[in-house]
């Protein structure tokens, strides 16, 4: 098996490959570099931070897959990251050179005028323009400080950019007493008081820009004008953010509700231990480690990294707006289509009485789901709406529909998971707004995150009540529904609705369900069902089949069961985008297993479980990856997909991603992911699936209006015949 952390770094290397791919449009390559950097930030905050905490445990904890200690894992992580950084910086330089050659986008990076006297990348007019920008727009808002014996402490915020300078007093060749150089610190992006990007005048259509950190670095002598600067750099620290909710409660007797506890946790997270420091600059001083020691960061050299690229890529959003008319820099524009299985001219609730509807994001629009919620909010026969919310958009139509439902007198229950990593603050805000509107808000269970994507609408009918249920693989987030591939199933199947009702009833009293008839519900009822289905395929041996589409595969029990199935000859096809601790193709062990990872313009996020072939084939969609945290430590829901039309769509997606895909990497028996040699038949399957959705939409609309056209045609012909007969 592979180590979880090292497998994740392989995934991020696949993201970097997209930035390195000359076939990807130039600005999209910048976007992949940005994703690579933000992924790495989160990896260090959570995974490296957690491993660092393990170093302080009395009893050593070993990785359950490779039996590596935390210290051994940290060493290997440092080595792998230092292998990736030169590729990252070279890719950034290559993309910027290509943009500059085309006179499209030119980054001005003035050289360090203190370390290389007389050299500058600026013309006289550029210098005059930038000096004015700095003095008027930046300098008044800077808050510099000097770290010395009189001012030994300076708190550094997580992921904040800082300019640092080595200083000695003007008119003196002596350093600070004791031989230690003074260090000056300037926060770069604090409070967002000035722009990140400054645009320079240009005689042609080229966009010439300088990042504010480079501007500050260039004019640091105006900030520390009483000192001589002997070296300078931009740096950023990353702090451990792997904080358990219980750690946020400082006093067991504090009378805080869960939302207040989460607010306390967010305050505490700001001050956690540094785990990494990154440096960048034109001439980074060789003794940059003095900055680390001066700031008392207690970081080892192994987690100090030097980059020749920006440390924060959020600036590309501003550049994208500036370049939006240059279509050759971007992927072909794709707009989500109307759902193939839904009639836009008929009420969704009425359509669900006839059959299931499956939405395939981002190829199809989330608006059909929003329409379902809005209909339920307005329908006088709808009694209640219950939903689990993990991540929602900042301007959420889902939230607005729930508020409308509450205002219309519906019984609305929203379980808001306040522990959704890095969305805590957003979710706290939504929980307040929902409560203010009269929605009953819950915060989940004490020891389990509620990660399911579940909606239950209860409606009065002639026979009593009727359930309408939605089960999804992804969040109720309008923004990410355009960026992530996900499925959402809407159904009026009463057995599914009854199970969903049991789930919400259990959550309402702080427990989880143990037995359900149709849905699989973690932590008690999902993994045993999966293992049971795997055992069935093992019985079928070479006639058996298993297909999984996941974000991650780390659950040891499931991995061992897959190995057992492989040994019995079962064909196993795994689409695993990210972490995969199973190594495929090992003779005598996993030789009947293939592992394929697809990394492309959309994030492959849907979870699909397929068991068997032909008439006995069973298909499930789920919110759960096969990680122990999902199968044993969260509330997750998987639902069967039974309607032949919805099954066909899922299988079409699954098989398309497996075959003839230019964005697929296949894992070999050494755990290395290899991209197959491109063939003319290989295509970007994600783009092809969008085109297929567009084709379906056109065919559906044609078939819908065709009978009307024929009817209209018959009326015209009949009228002509009538007039001819009577003339």
- Check if 451 is active-site: yes
Judge whether 538 and 564 are in contact, CB under 8 Å.
yes
Tokens of 619: 């298909």
DSSP β-bridge partners for residue 276: 238
Alpha carbon distance 257, 267 (integer Å): 16
Judge whether 26 and 94 are in contact, CB under 8 Å.
no
C-alpha pair distances (Å), 175 with each of 116, 147, 166, 230: 21, 13, 10, 11
DSSP string, 125-170: HHHHHHHHHIIIIIGGG---EEESSSS------TT-EEEEEEEEET
Give, for 383, the enclosing helix (H) or strand (E). strand 382-389
The CA-to-CA distance between both ends of the chain, in Å, stands at 88
Match 């819950």 to its residue by tokens.
Answer: 442
C-alpha pair distances (Å), 538 with each of 204, 572, 686: 67, 11, 32
Alpha carbon distance 363, 484 (integer Å): 10
Q: For 629, what's the count of Cα atoms within 13 Å in the CB-facing half-sphere?
A: 6
Other beta carbons within 10 angstroms of residue 238's beta carbon come to 23
Judge whether 520 and 458 are in contact, CB under 8 Å.
no
C-alpha pair distances (Å), 653 with each of 88, 366, 661: 32, 18, 12
Q: 154, 451, 605, 726: which one is catalytic?
A: 451
Judge whether 622 and 607 are in contact, CB under 8 Å.
yes
Other beta carbons within 10 angstroms of residue 578's beta carbon come to 23
Alpha carbon distance 583, 593 (integer Å): 9
> Which residues are known to be catalytic?
451
């Amino acid at each position: 098996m592979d180590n979880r952390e090292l497998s994740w770094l392989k995934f991020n290397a696949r993201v970097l490959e997209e930035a390195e791919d000359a076939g990807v449009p130039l600005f999209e390559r910048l976007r992949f570099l940005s994703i690579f950097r933000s992924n790495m930030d989160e990896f260090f905050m959570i995974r490296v931070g957690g491993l660092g905490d393990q170093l302080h445990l009395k009893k050593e904890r070993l990785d359950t897959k490779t039996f590596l200690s935390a210290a051994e894992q940290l060493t290997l992580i440092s080595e792998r990251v230092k292998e990736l950084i030169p590729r990252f910086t070279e890719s950034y330089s290559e993309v910027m050179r290509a943009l500059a050659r085309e006179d499209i986008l030119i980054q001005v990076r003035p050289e360090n005028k203190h370390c290389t006297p007389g050299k500058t990348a600026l013309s006289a007019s550029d210098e005059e323009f930038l000096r004015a920008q700095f003095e008027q727009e930046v300098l008044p808002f800077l808050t510099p400080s000097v770290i010395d014996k009189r001012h030994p402490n300076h708190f550094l915020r997580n992921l904040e950019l800082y300019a640092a300078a080595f200083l000695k007093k003007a008119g003196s060749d002596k350093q600070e007493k004791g031989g230690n150089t003074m260090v000056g610190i300037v926060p770069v992006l604090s409070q967002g008081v000035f722009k990140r990007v400054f645009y320079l005048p240009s005689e042609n259509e080229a966009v010439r820009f300088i990042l504010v950190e480079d501007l500050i670095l260039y004019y640091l002598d105006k900030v520390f004008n009483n000192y001589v600067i002997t070296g300078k750099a931009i740096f950023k620290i990353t702090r451990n953010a792997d904080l358990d909710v219980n750690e946020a409660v400082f006093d067991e007797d504090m009378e805080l509700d869960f939302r207040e506890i989460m607010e306390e946790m967010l305050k505490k997270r700001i001050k956690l231990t540094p785990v990494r420091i990154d440096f960048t600059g034109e001439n980074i001083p060789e003794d940059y480690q003095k900055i680390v020691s001066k700031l008392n960061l207690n970081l080892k050299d192994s987690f100090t990294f030097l980059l020749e690229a920006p440390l924060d890529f959020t600036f590309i959003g501003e550049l994208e707006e500036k370049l939006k008319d240059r279509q050759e820099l971007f992927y072909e524009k794709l707009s989500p289509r109307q759902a193939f299985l839904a009639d836009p001219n008929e009420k969704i609730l009425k359509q669900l009485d006839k059959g299931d509807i499956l939405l395939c994001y981002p190829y199809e629009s989330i608006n059909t789901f929003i329409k379902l919620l809005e209909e339920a909010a307005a329908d006088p026969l709808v009694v209640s709406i219950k939903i689990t919310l993990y991540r929602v958009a900042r301007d959420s139509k889902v939230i607005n529909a729930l508020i409308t439902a509450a205002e219309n007198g519906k019984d609305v229950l929203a379980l808001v998971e306040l522990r959704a990593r890095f969305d805590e603050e957003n979710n706290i805000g939504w929980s307040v707004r929902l409560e203010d509107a009269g929605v009953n808000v819950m915060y989940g269970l004490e020891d389990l995150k509620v990660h399911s994507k579940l909606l239950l609408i209860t409606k009065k009918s002639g026979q009593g009540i009727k359930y309408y249920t939605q089960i999804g693989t992804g969040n109720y987030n309008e923004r990410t529904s355009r960026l992530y591939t996900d499925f959402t199933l809407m159904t009026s199947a009463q057995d599914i609705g009854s199970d969903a009702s049991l789930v919400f009833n259990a959550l309402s009293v702080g427990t989880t369900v143990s037995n359900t008839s149709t849905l699989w519900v973690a932590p008690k009822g999902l993994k045993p069902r999966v293992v049971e289905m795997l055992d069935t395929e093992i019985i079928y041996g070479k006639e058996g089949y298993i297909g999984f589409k996941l974000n991650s595969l780390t659950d040891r029990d499931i991995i061992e069961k897959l190995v057992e199935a492989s040994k019995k000859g079962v064909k196993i096809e795994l689409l695993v985008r990210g972490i995969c601790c199973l190594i495929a193709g090992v003779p005598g062990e996993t030789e009947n297993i293939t592992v394929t990872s697809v990394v492309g313009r959309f994030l492959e996020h849907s979870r699909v479980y397929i068991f068997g072939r032909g008439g006995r084939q069973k298909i499930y969609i789920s919110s759960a990856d096969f990680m122990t945290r999902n199968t044993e430590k969260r509330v997750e829901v998987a639902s069967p997909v039974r309607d032949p039309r919805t099954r066909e769509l899922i299988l079409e997606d699954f098989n398309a991603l497996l075959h003839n895909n230019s964005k697929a990497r296949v894992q070999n028996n050494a755990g290395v992911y290899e991209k197959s040699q491109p063939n003319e038949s290989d295509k970007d399957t994600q783009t092809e699936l969008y085109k297929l959705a567009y084709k379906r939409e056109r065919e559906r609309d044609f078939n819908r209006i065709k009978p009307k056209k024929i009817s209209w045609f018959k009326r015209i012909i009949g009228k002509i015949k009538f007039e001819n007969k009577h003339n």
